[in-house]
Amino acid sequence: MLDAGAAHPGRTAFHHLESLARSNGIGKARVKAVLEKVGLESVAHKRLGGFSLGMRQRLGIAGALLGDPAVILLDEPVNGLDASGIRWIRSTLRSLAAEGRTVLLSSHLMSEMALTVDHVLIIGRGRLLKATSMEEMRDRFARDVLVRTPRAGELATILTGLGASVTSDGGEELVVVGVDAVTIGGAAAAAAIPLHGLTPRAATLEDVYLELTNDAAEYRAAPEKAA
């Protein structure tokens, strides 16, 4: 599915799909089935001109499902959708994957993809820069651990002794790099230091993407000059 909005506004949803289906020898029963699958059966005979963007996205997915494909390729499927539309797309794509299909999404919406997908392929200037699972990426690109304790100075000294790099805001918060949350928790417990917070912070998909595509970016805004 490349462009969900690419449909004649004067045609009904059913006729739009029927014309695509019939050109591939697919019958009306399948058209009805995919309309039901994407929840558009009640508006199947309404003209597309009155469809919202979300409804058009559903129609686009219905069109992609007509041939019952094993691989589904969708380009920017959540662009312009509201929260409920995004949630619907996410659950639909997951259910399609659960049926045994491979669902390949192309998107620039990193935060949304981080919530939706299992595997990530990062492409820059036509080259594959990274192919990894989301889980692996979370582990590999773990950033730091945020620690909140009333005895920040003592804990910082202990953690530095364990080889960690610790920065402090002068108050109760420490940002620790180089050891994981389990080690920090253990060290604090051993020294009877109370912890009010222990938060491992991973790099976001956006951070990783920007880091990996730094050299591959085609257009870049000029850095703002200090006043």
Partner 1 sequence: MTMTTLQEPTLQEKPTVPRVIDSVSPTSGTRVFRDTVAGEWIKLRTLRSTYAFLVGGLGATMLGSLILYLLIQSYDKATAADKGNFETADPSVVSIPFVMFFVGSIGAMLITSEFTTRSIGPGLLAVPQRRLLLGAKATVAGTAALLAGLFFASLSFASAKMLVGDRPAPINPWPVWTDALPKVFCATIIVMVTTIVAVGLGTWFRSTASTLVTLGSLLLVAPAFAHFLPTVWQLRFGSILLPNLIPQLAGSNHPYVLSQGGAVAVTVGYLVLALGAGTISFVRRDVS
3-state secondary structure of 163: coil
- Using the minimum distance from each CB to partner 1, give the nearer residue, 158 or 212: 212
Q: How far is the CB of 119 from partner 1 (least distance, A)?
A: 4
Q: How far is the CB of 47 from partner 1 (least distance, A)?
A: 9
Give the closest residue to 140 by CA, choosing from 60, 217, 208: 208
- Using the minimum distance from each CB to partner 1, give the nearer residue, 14 or 152: 14
Residues of this chain that interact with partner 1 (CB under 8 A) are 2-3, 5-12, 15-16, 18-27, 30, 63, 67-70, 93-94, 96-108, 110, 113, 116-124, 205, 209
- Using the minimum distance from each CB to partner 1, give the nearer residue, 28 or 196: 28
- Using the minimum distance from each CB to partner 1, give the nearer residue, 123 or 175: 123
Rounded-to-integer distance, Cα 214 and Cα 211, Å? 5
- Using the minimum distance from each CB to partner 1, give the nearer residue, 29 or 190: 29
Backbone region of residue 100 per phi and psi (left: phi > 0; alpha: psi in -120 to 50; beta: other values): left
- Using the minimum distance from each CB to partner 1, give the nearer residue, 38 or 159: 38
Residues 6+ apart with CB under 8 A from 33: none
Q: How far is the CB of 7 from partner 1 (least distance, A)?
A: 5
Rounded-to-integer distance, Cα 27 and Cα 17, Å? 10
Give the closest residue to 154 by CA, choosing from 142, 141, 168, 140: 168
Q: How far is the CB of 102 from partner 1 (least distance, A)?
A: 6
Rounded-to-integer distance, Cα 188 and Cα 194, Å? 7
Q: How far is the CB of 50 from partner 1 (least distance, A)?
A: 14
Angle at 218 between CA 212 and CA 223, to 5 degrees: 85
Q: How far is the CB of 209 from partner 1 (least distance, A)?
A: 6
CA distances from 95 to 34, 69, 88 (A): 14, 14, 10
